A and B are shown apart, each in its own frame.
Chain A
Amino acid sequence: MESESEAKVDGETASDSESRAESAPLPVSADDTPEVLNRALSNLSSRWKNWWVRGILTLAMIAFFFIIIYLGPMVLMIIVMCVQIKCFHEIITIGYNVYHSYDLPWFRTLSWYFLLCVNYFFYGETVTDYFFTLVQREEPLRILSKYHRFISFTLYLIGFCMFVLSLVKKHYRLQFYMFGWTHVTLLIVVTQSHLVIHNLFEGMIWFIVPISCVICNDIMAYMFGFFFGRTPLIKLSPKKTWEGFIGGFFATVVFGLLLSYVMSGYRCFVCPVEYNNDTNSFTVDCEPSDLFRLQEYNIPGVIQSVIGWKTVRMYPFQIHSIALSTFASLIGPFGGFFASGFKRAFKIKDFANTIPGHGGIMDRFDCQYLMATFVNVYIASFIRGPNPSKLIQQFLTLRPDQQLHIFNTLRSHLIDKGMLTSATEDE
């Protein structure tokens, strides 16, 4: 990948650091492939062996994904949390390796502490919204949720003060670097994973379709590139080609359309996840919204002649899925390029060696991050308005005169719109 000269100029001059692990390149993949696979594939040539390892692991991961979906939202949430922790761990470990900062005082503790704080803050905000009734019942939970921001801020401050107190004379810059590194990692990893969980609560389809589109784009672009690839796409990732990019785009859009058609039929995917007080578990049961009811669309003249149909029955969600797949294929890869640039910048081949043939968890999830944010913004902007139950909660905490004022304004608004008539007021 990098020219030899760049690897050389990275060498240290200080003698004590030479006794430690050299800075570049960071240790390359020790072979983690299980023995079973190794034996089974021992006859094939190295290139095909690699292909088969990747293929088998891909299928294993996809199967795992299906199992988790089957197990339900709670397990999904836990998996998202674990993926987040592992990604954080991978990126922080790279930071330690880059800066040789294993024995900075306190630093590992502080990084994990900050991870805990930020997760506590985000989970507190989500939990309060969705588990509202549960929280109101239990006294300690109620206090925790009422003063949630203050408690989170205090916890963060404690970490901040510990950081300041832990600054050691000869290591100031290193410590600031690691502090910055930790915070940027938190920004990327933790916020996105919480957006993923928000999307999940909207309805599992909003979680499954975007992730599948990104995975499909990965695989399709690879296939198209493998069979038809000729023109390089970007200097950062020499293996990507324009043929793969465009082929992947069309394949992903078609895949998204088909997948949303299949999934929109089932309530368990389409309904928002709710926490049921009585059964103390998550339920997905509702009247599907307009998005998920078949409607007739007139096909524009151009396509009519091609397909020979006048109208088509589609779910409106499929139109949205086109937007999601387009984003996944056109902008999602930029997340991958960013990660490639990052790996080149710090001279690592993969983020870690967790998955044989694929690298670390971050390697699989680098394209997903932008996708999660996009889906969340998309939902907030185009699909749903504010959450009605949350609004009622906020309303109930206002002062009586404010409540009255809002009530009257709402009333006049509804009367204006014709939803209410003065006569129906006195039921």
Chain B
Amino acid sequence: MLELRYRGSCPSPGEAVSPPPREGEAAGGDHETESTSDKETDIDDRYGDLDSRTDSDIPEIPASSDRTPEILKKALSGLSSRWKNWWIRGILTLTMISLFFLIIYMGSFMLMLLVLGIQVKCFHEIITIGYRVYHSYDLPWFRTLSWYFLLCVNYFFYGETVADYFATFVQREEQLQFLIRYHRFISFALYLAGFCMFVLSLVKKHYRLQFYMFAWTHVTLLITVTQSHLVIQNLFEGMIWFLVPISSVICNDITAYLFGFFFGRTPLIKLSPKKTWEGFIGGFFSTVVFGFIAAYVLSKYQYFVCPVEYRSDVNSFVTECEPSELFQLQTYSLPPFLKAVLRQERVSLYPFQIHSIALSTFASLIGPFGGFFASGFKRAFKIKDFANTIPGHGGIMDRFDCQYLMATFVHVYITSFIRGPNPSKVLQQLLVLQPEQQLNIYKTLKIHLIEKGILQPALKV
């Protein structure tokens, strides 16, 4: 962003101003010459009265201020800088993983809250970057509007989910019934109010900025909010569908880093110079093995395997059920070449482990594209990290950039290959129909069930 300041204050064109090297940018050798890549920012920044702003002391995205706690600093003061960084990252990694285990132990409700918290923080980080890029701190209304839209979209999505899973709870309360029945209309009205406020807030000299921020907000909502709701839907399917994908992505991150650290030689992609082919392939194989083992361990426990249900008598979430066939051991005959290697005729596996291979493969092969996308984004807007929330790691978005594609993939995978429609949702929709329609459907279903032998025709119930 320094370059923009220089541009603004030097009216003569073509004056080459070389920006002072920014800390941390040198790693990739990515000194973009500013003439072509910042062309469009000239359009933005010369807009309206922004010229006056380019001289002021608005900081560009600050280089990492050191937020490492004092304790760690003292403990590590003896080591050299490179190892110190390594240790900080390592300790923080272990801390995050322990926090993750703790929350899993505390149950699904806490996990939902955690997901919601992460979503809000990611949204905040990306929006803050937008403000900095466009110097739009004091656009009228804009911060309010961004948070308002976040609230609207969350309300819409939670309303859709809540109605499905809390059906019994909802039927009891009168006001909730009303809210659920007209949910789409209410959400749309809320969104419209925000839209109209946006239109009314357009100020003459800031039109383009305001449209940019509007679009920025919407794209951010599309990325963060929809994905976080897919995560929660996966969670309700069974905690294993939440844990195995996330762990696979984390494992791929860590093992690709380790393989790259010890064996890395061939660069993978220009966007992320630190990634190597050795890390990529090594990470792939280790993640598949890890996923396989994690699936085996987790499939045993009902706590992880059963769909999360809300019981109205107990007023809490329970995970108790008869595990489906996916989670019951089955014996498979090994194909011949594996037979020779392992010297066993058969092996007992959970069918879910086969699915876990698909999930881990996606996590290792396609997940990194989410990371490359975020790297490209950071280079495009000249930021080192999304934020400084986690010492040594950057912001929350930095940790979760690979997770986004994963969440969508798992959701699509489940709906396509694992389960059909949600039975409680079908029932709920049936109960909303007109009585005559219900009667018609009842008759059709009865015929169908009798044909299939599920229902005995002569049974007097």
A residues contacting B by CB (< 8 A) are: 6, 9-18, 23, 98-100, 146-147, 149-150, 153, 157, 160-161, 163-165, 167, 169-177, 180-181, 183-184, 187, 234-236, 331, 334, 337-338, 341-342, 344-346, 370, 373-374, 377-378, 380-382, 385-386, 388, 391-392, 394-400, 402-411, 413-414, 417, 419-420, 422, 425-426
Question: With the chains together, A146 CA to B199 CA distance in Å?
Answer: 42
In terms of DSSP, what is the predominant structure of the interface of chain A?
Answer: helix
* Cross-interface CB contact of A377 among B184, B219, B372, B423, cutoff 8 Å: B184
* Cross-interface CB contact of B199 among A11, A150, A170, A337, cutoff 8 Å: A337
**B193-213 near A? 1/0 per residue, CB < 8 Å:** 001101110101101101100
When the two chains form their complex, are residues B429 and A385 in contact, meaning their CB atoms are under 8 A apart?
yes
Asked if B294 lies at the interface with its beta carbon under 8 angstroms from chain A, I say no
Q: CB-CB < 8 A to B440: which residues of A?
A: 388
Closest to B454 in A: A400
Asked if B99 lies at the interface with its beta carbon under 8 angstroms from chain A, I say no
**Interchain nearest-CB distance for B409 vs A (Å):** 7
Q: What would 9 more interface pairs be, CB under 8 Å, given A173-B40, A173-B380? A: A10-B46, A13-B12, A149-B415, A150-B413, A183-B222, A184-B218, A341-B199, A397-B421, A410-B430
When the two chains form their complex, are residues B48 and A170 in contact, meaning their CB atoms are under 8 A apart?
no
**Interchain nearest-CB distance for A410 vs B (Å):** 6
Asked if B175 lies at the interface with its beta carbon under 8 angstroms from chain A, I say no
When the two chains form their complex, are residues B448 and A12 in contact, meaning their CB atoms are under 8 A apart?
no
* Cross-interface CB contact of B441 among A344, A388, A409, cutoff 8 Å: A388
A169-B207 contact in complex given A10-B46, A385-B429, A406-B430, C-beta closer than 8 Å: no
Closest to B43 in A: A23
Question: With the chains together, A403 CA to B184 CA distance in Å?
Answer: 28
* Cross-interface CB contact of B40 among A174, A334, A373, cutoff 8 Å: A174
Q: CB-CB < 8 A to A17: which residues of B?
A: 39
Closest to A388 in B: B437
Contacts of B403-456 to chain A: CB distance below 8 A: 405, 408-409, 412-413, 415-417, 420-421, 423, 426-427, 429-435, 437-442, 444-446, 448-449, 452, 454-455
When the two chains form their complex, are residues A386 and B432 in contact, meaning their CB atoms are under 8 A apart?
yes
Asked if B100 lies at the interface with its beta carbon under 8 angstroms from chain A, I say no
Give the one of A18, A146, A344 with max B CB within 10 A. A344
When the two chains form their complex, are residues B460 and A425 in contact, meaning their CB atoms are under 8 A apart?
yes
Asked if B33 lies at the interface with its beta carbon under 8 angstroms from chain A, I say yes
Asked if B25 lies at the interface with its beta carbon under 8 angstroms from chain A, I say no
A172-B37 contact in complex given A157-B405, A164-B369, C-beta closer than 8 Å: yes
A15-B433 contact in complex given A100-B39, A176-B377, A420-B442, C-beta closer than 8 Å: no
Asked if B62 lies at the interface with its beta carbon under 8 angstroms from chain A, I say no
When the two chains form their complex, are residues A345 and B210 in contact, meaning their CB atoms are under 8 A apart?
yes
Asked if B106 lies at the interface with its beta carbon under 8 angstroms from chain A, I say no
Q: CB-CB < 8 A to A419: which residues of B?
A: 435, 438-439
Contacts of B377-401 to chain A: CB distance below 8 A: 377, 379-381
When the two chains form their complex, are residues B51 and A169 in contact, meaning their CB atoms are under 8 A apart?
no
When the two chains form their complex, are residues B208 and A345 in contact, meaning their CB atoms are under 8 A apart?
yes
Closest to B429 in A: A386
* Cross-interface CB contact of B454 among A18, A370, A403, cutoff 8 Å: A403
A400-B452 contact in complex given A172-B37, A180-B215, A394-B421, C-beta closer than 8 Å: yes
Q: CB-CB < 8 A to B219: which residues of A?
A: 180, 183-184
Question: What 3 pairs between A and B have smallest CB-CB spacing?
Answer: A172-B380, A345-B207, A13-B13
**Interchain nearest-CB distance for B426 vs A (Å):** 5
Question: With the chains together, A59 CA to B389 CA distance in Å?
Answer: 61
When the two chains form their complex, are residues B185 and A377 in contact, meaning their CB atoms are under 8 A apart?
yes
Q: CB-CB < 8 A to A170: which residues of B?
A: 32-33, 36-37
Q: CB-CB < 8 A to B40: which residues of A?
A: 98-100, 173-174, 177
Question: With the chains together, A250 CA to B449 CA distance in Å?
Answer: 55
* Cross-interface CB contact of B192 among A99, A147, A370, A408, cutoff 8 Å: A370
Q: CB-CB < 8 A to A374: which residues of B?
A: 188
**Interchain nearest-CB distance for A320 vs B (Å):** 13
When the two chains form their complex, are residues A14 and B421 in contact, meaning their CB atoms are under 8 A apart?
no
* Cross-interface CB contact of B51 among A9, A334, A370, A398, cutoff 8 Å: A9
* Cross-interface CB contact of B47 among A10, A378, A388, cutoff 8 Å: A10
When the two chains form their complex, are residues B372 and A10 in contact, meaning their CB atoms are under 8 A apart?
no
When the two chains form their complex, are residues B427 and A157 in contact, meaning their CB atoms are under 8 A apart?
no
* Cross-interface CB contact of B433 among A165, A183, A386, A420, cutoff 8 Å: A386
When the two chains form their complex, are residues A341 and B202 in contact, meaning their CB atoms are under 8 A apart?
yes
Q: CB-CB < 8 A to B461: which residues of A?
A: 408, 411, 422, 425
When the two chains form their complex, are residues B423 and A406 in contact, meaning their CB atoms are under 8 A apart?
yes
Asked if B118 lies at the interface with its beta carbon under 8 angstroms from chain A, I say no
Contacts of B165-179 to chain A: CB distance below 8 A: none
A6-B270 contact in complex given A150-B413, A184-B218, A404-B454, C-beta closer than 8 Å: no
When the two chains form their complex, are residues B408 and A153 in contact, meaning their CB atoms are under 8 A apart?
yes
When the two chains form their complex, are residues B207 and A341 in contact, meaning their CB atoms are under 8 A apart?
yes
* Cross-interface CB contact of B202 among A175, A236, A346, cutoff 8 Å: A236
* Cross-interface CB contact of A338 among B185, B199, B417, cutoff 8 Å: B199
Question: With the chains together, A64 CA to B199 CA distance in Å?
Answer: 32
28 inter-chain pairs at a CB distance below 8 angstroms, sorted by A residue, are A6-B205, A13-B13, A16-B36, A99-B40, A149-B416, A153-B409, A160-B373, A164-B376, A171-B37, A172-B376, A173-B40, A173-B381, A176-B376, A181-B215, A184-B215, A331-B192, A334-B196, A337-B202, A338-B195, A341-B207, A378-B185, A385-B432, A386-B433, A388-B440, A388-B441, A391-B433, A397-B421, A405-B423
When the two chains form their complex, are residues A160 and B369 in contact, meaning their CB atoms are under 8 A apart?
yes
**B274-291 near A? 1/0 per residue, CB < 8 Å:** 000000000000000000
Question: With the chains together, A334 CA to B202 CA distance in Å?
Answer: 12
Give the one of B35, B380, B417 with max A CB within 10 A. B380
When the two chains form their complex, are residues B420 and A398 in contact, meaning their CB atoms are under 8 A apart?
yes
Asked if B14 lies at the interface with its beta carbon under 8 angstroms from chain A, I say yes
**Interchain nearest-CB distance for B443 vs A (Å):** 10
**Interchain nearest-CB distance for A150 vs B (Å):** 4
Asked if B83 lies at the interface with its beta carbon under 8 angstroms from chain A, I say no
Closest to A173 in B: B380
Q: CB-CB < 8 A to B269: which residues of A?
A: 165
When the two chains form their complex, are residues A413 and B7 in contact, meaning their CB atoms are under 8 A apart?
no
Asked if B63 lies at the interface with its beta carbon under 8 angstroms from chain A, I say no
Question: With the chains together, A385 CA to B455 CA distance in Å?
Answer: 28
When the two chains form their complex, are residues A173 and B41 in contact, meaning their CB atoms are under 8 A apart?
yes
Q: CB-CB < 8 A to A9: which residues of B?
A: 46-48, 51
* Cross-interface CB contact of A334 among B199, B204, B218, cutoff 8 Å: B199
